[in-house]
Amino acid sequence: MAKQDLEFIHRFEPGSKDGPVVLLLHGTGGDENDLLPLGRAILPGASLLSPRGKVLEQGMPRFFRRLALGVFDEKDLKLRTGELADFVTAAAETYGFSLDRVIAAGYSNGANIAASLLLMRPDVLSAAVLLRATVPLRVHSLPDLRGKKVLLSEAHQDPYVPKEQALDLEATLRSAGAEVDTLWIAPSHGLETAEIAPIQRWLKGTIKDR
């Protein structure tokens, strides 16, 4: 089902009734179709909500602006995080699901705005899988993330996310009370098929523990 309302061009694929809803957030240059195969693979039977980022960088969709490689436009990031959170809330009403069923699965730029959601609008997520994420911004006061589960899937030699930045995000989320697990499977920034099975196992355990 393709939609262009709710402020974001997006796709929604309904899954099992009262089951989880995976919020798929693509990387730079992706769109609402990019991560649908990943969503179907990591959590079969789940509903999939996949928006397209509104920001264009040299014609490539992103979820927020950056000033240079690795340097984020924090003002724009805060604005876009609020927009995305409002979209998820509106989509929940439109498609008939509750926010406590929403699990973000984001890659690169999408993982970073998912991390921003956790830090600024954690009410719209119950859990998150962040692939190649870094600390997107510093907040004056950390939110209460107790009860939130987060899986980081990082790369050994990522040219965009140095290991110390991935570890910084891990520590930040834990300081906020989140339960954080980290995978170090991928050699570089790209997605790897070897990640799918451990992400499946983690998600199965996360859903079972609810």
Name all domains of the chain by residue range, CATH numbers in brackets: 2-208 (3.40.50.1820)
Q: Torsion over CA of 130, 135, 139 and 142, rounded to 10 degrees?
A: 50
**AA identity, residue 44:** P
- Predicted model pTM: 0.95
32 to each of 38, 63, 72, how far by Cα in Å? 12, 12, 22
Give the mean pLDDT per block of 10 residues along the chain (210 residues): 68 95 97 98 97 95 90 94 96 95 98 98 98 94 96 95 96 97 95 96 85
State the catalytic residue, choosing from 47, 50, 108, 116.
108
- Residue 189 appears among annotated catalytic residues: yes
Mark whether 5 is an active-site residue: no
CA dihedral 190, 181, 130, 138 (to 10 degrees): -120
Which residue among the candidates 86, 100, 123, 189 is catalytic per the annotation? 189
